[in-house]
Structure 1
């Protein structure tokens, strides 16, 4: 790493859009695996960059709490309003209780039952593309597919999926909370009203009927959890787009999959590791503790840099090589411990079925314009990915 680069640049979104954060993380894993960042517009925090440290924090919710926020927020924005109310921003035992309300919708069995629905959504999205296969893949395929699937699970009728997709894109592009998008929130308040009067077999109905310690969830809790689940589709879409970019940049790996479709599950895991679309996750220490020789005080914020953990040379041989046959591949792209991604099985199924359909339809994939990465320290991946899916 050049002397001009310091760990503090990690909080600059432009580094993630136009630079190489992996150069910084690689240096930090070797020289400063647990590093204290002073307060700026963001609060002071500790960076963790090694796999073992990141995994240990994920798996110790008693010491490292999610309740006070899981993403760095500018100090002037105050605390996250979802603290203690949502799946992402709660600790045991409440996290487990909230998870139990919706877990059946994301179980292995539920995802298996949804496989035909998922495959139809994949085909619907691909069938929308022009005959010559040109598309803005990040938007037209990856983002749209993720939103269609989660919209269906939540209870949004199929004819409203495109509206949901447009509203969430507007919020993501503006860098604001989905709760700040008035049309989206009004839609979900209306949906809650309809499901209260006539429950159906969907996630909103499950949340409306869900109880914790004998008490129904409040409307605020239901809205914030819907926002939480919908917001996660941004990560899913970026992982899919980033995986496709990796396959374009490594055509030999695409050919491996074409020759051996049985390798698809392993390819999905490598795409998840390689893209690590959730750039960081934050926790707050509940007590004084020590990590890698550094004393972390109660109340200190700890930031886990997931892409760094997933390139840790002590865990992944040749970590900067994209290898769809990598095994073992115990990446942390979907978290670990209590907060392991609720939608992990669905995300894997979606990616596998999309790749399978693309391999059957497509002779080759070509870039047909410049790629632009998203400018963010929270998520990573291609914001713009112009491709030509050359048909068979």
Structure 2
């Protein structure tokens, strides 16, 4: 019976031989293609030669790799291959990933304005050097210099890069999976407007010339009547509004994409695409605006899509001028959810109204989604003029 073959990724007995300049260490190694090859390294001493050989075997054991990605490929190259292969991500997600790559991983982008420290980079590391410890220290340093949100997004990007390397056998595992958690500041308890405060806010902004010139009173009223996001309100078109039925269809959201400008893209999830019943006071408000075919209900001052980022700044100024400097657009959404909760409506109805995906499989399978009535319209009547 013949000698059993070496298991893949293992080596046989190390033998050392004296040379004119020191020693040579040699052994047989069975590569991941099944072939047995002789591997050798030299050193000035016997121990040095053996150590050099074992180090080479260790790196060889981290896999030769396939295609253009090997354990010696630099992170920079794999990052670009990973990003080029993204197909099912939204434009805003792709832009966020690209920003993380350019600023903190491959270093191709400009230094952020006002940065307190230079970016932390991994670009020139080889995949075999991308250990759990290296990644962990990188993310901790990134969180310290640029905040937990940036570190968490970088972790997602690195996980994708390392996952691609692992699928090419250039890494024996994805090191990102075992790094420590990125600690974030505990979230504050949700704060919402009371019914009286919501009415006061809607009244106050009508006396703000700046807010009126930017068409914010109706925009704020619409958000309080529906609970939609800023981008969804900006993307609302007249062909999605049925004033006779008193309903609106949330189909898309406005985003700014580098090189393309403002675009209206379909909502990110199935839960985001929904039809909502409007309270009567909102129907009357929209009826007073008139209709404009398929154009946006809340267009920019000069026409076209309203920029969500600029609108966010305009809202912040309007809220401050009205004496509600703590209010944000998210507070308007929380107000809608709170009003529904106080009216005895379920959290499922609130999730449908706000466009949140419900994790309960039973509810998802046995209860219809995207229905035109969640009960919010009746509850939100309370926000209308007294």
Could you state the TM-score of these two structures normalised by the residue count of structure 2? Answer: 0.22
Structure having the higher helix fraction is 1
CA radius of gyration, larger in? 2
